[in-house]
A and B are shown apart, each in its own frame.
Chain A
Amino acid sequence: GAVVSQHPSRVICKSGTSVKIECRSLDFQATTMFWYRQFPKQSLMLMATSNEGSKATYEQGVEKDKFLINHASLTLSTLTVTSAHPEDSSFYICSAPRGAGGYEQYFGPGTRLTVT
């Protein structure tokens, strides 16, 4: 069964509004989670590393004030896309390492964001 969930699976929002995406580890604790973005026919691009109890680490070129990340607990990280624009339309995926040494990373099912 799924070990990482995301909510919502799909969301449509109007340009200029904000949308929040949740990522949950279902039966394990994750001090770190990762957020990726994937445009059609492209690979996954890491956006940021979410750290429980501290600030997220953003990849170069990703605006931290636009993509707000909050890792409020050991099982929940949220990504908020603020003032969304059509070019933010994408597939957003989170992941979390699990187990001793974190050899396996489990990915959520993804959230399809469409900004109109």
Chain B
Amino acid sequence: DAKTTQPPSMDCAEGRAANLPCNHSTISGNEYVYWYRQIHSQGPQYIIHGLKNNETNEMASLIITEDRKSSTLILPHATLRDTAVYYCIVRGEISNFGNEKLTFGTGTRLTIIP
């Protein structure tokens, strides 16, 4: 799986949009970009994933550049409960019914400031 690079930490004011960048310059054509987050002392939580098109769900939006070498996770209206470590993960094409392990990097520690 391709390696990802994220800033170690970011702050965002409550109510503002939080934009979390991720570089994955070695991503290959069949690899997906996944985002998870981990609130302190809890298990990680799935947020969103995409291949090449931008994606949006009830939690966030994922913007993937045209060359797919980077992406941005957007939390449109950050709340204090969004304070967590956010992990950007690149994984291969789903095969064998998705029985693929996830490799976590160091992530970005996002702090939402009141």
Q: Which residues of A contact B (CB under 8 A)?
A: 4, 6, 31-32, 34, 36, 43-46, 49, 91, 93, 95, 97, 99-110, 112
Q: B residues within 8 A CB of A112? A: 41
Question: Are B44 and A107 touching (Cβ within 8 A)?
Answer: yes
Question: Are A49 and B41 touching (Cβ within 8 A)?
Answer: no
Q: Known contacts A101-B97, A102-B94, A102-B98; is A46 also within 8 Å of B103 by CB?
A: yes
The contact sample of 10 A-B pairs, CB cut-off 8 A, is A34-B101, A36-B104, A43-B87, A91-B41, A97-B97, A100-B97, A101-B97, A102-B97, A105-B98, A110-B42
Question: Are B43 and A97 touching (Cβ within 8 A)?
Answer: no
Inter-chain residue pair count (beta carbon < 8 A): 63
Q: A108 — nearest CB in chain B belongs to which residue? A: B43
Question: In chain B between 39 and 66, which residues have their CB closer than 8 angstroms to a CB of chain A?
Answer: 41-46, 49
Question: Are B97 and A43 touching (Cβ within 8 A)?
Answer: no
Q: How far is the CA of A110 from the CA of B39 in the complex (A)?
A: 12
Q: How many residues of B contact A (CB 8 A)?
A: 22
Q: B residues within 8 A CB of A91? A: 41
Q: Label chain A's interface by main secondary structure.
A: strand
Q: Known contacts A43-B104, A103-B94, A104-B46; is A32 also within 8 Å of B41 by CB?
A: no
Q: B87 — nearest CB in chain A belongs to which residue? A: A43
Flag whether B106 is at the interface (Cβ < 8 A): yes
Question: Are B44 and A44 touching (Cβ within 8 A)?
Answer: yes
Measured CB to CB, the closest approach of chain B to A92, in angstroms, equals 10
Question: Are B98 and A97 touching (Cβ within 8 A)?
Answer: yes
* B41: contacting residue among A103, A104, A110, CB under 8 A: A110
Measured CB to CB, the closest approach of chain B to A71, in angstroms, equals 12
Flag whether B102 is at the interface (Cβ < 8 A): yes
Question: Are A107 and B45 touching (Cβ within 8 A)?
Answer: yes
Question: Are B94 and A101 touching (Cβ within 8 A)?
Answer: yes
Measured CB to CB, the closest approach of chain B to A103, in angstroms, equals 6
Contact with A along B93-114 (1 / 0, CB 8 A): 0100111111111110000000
Question: Are B104 and A97 touching (Cβ within 8 A)?
Answer: no
Q: How far is the CA of A107 from the CA of B46 in the complex (A)?
A: 8
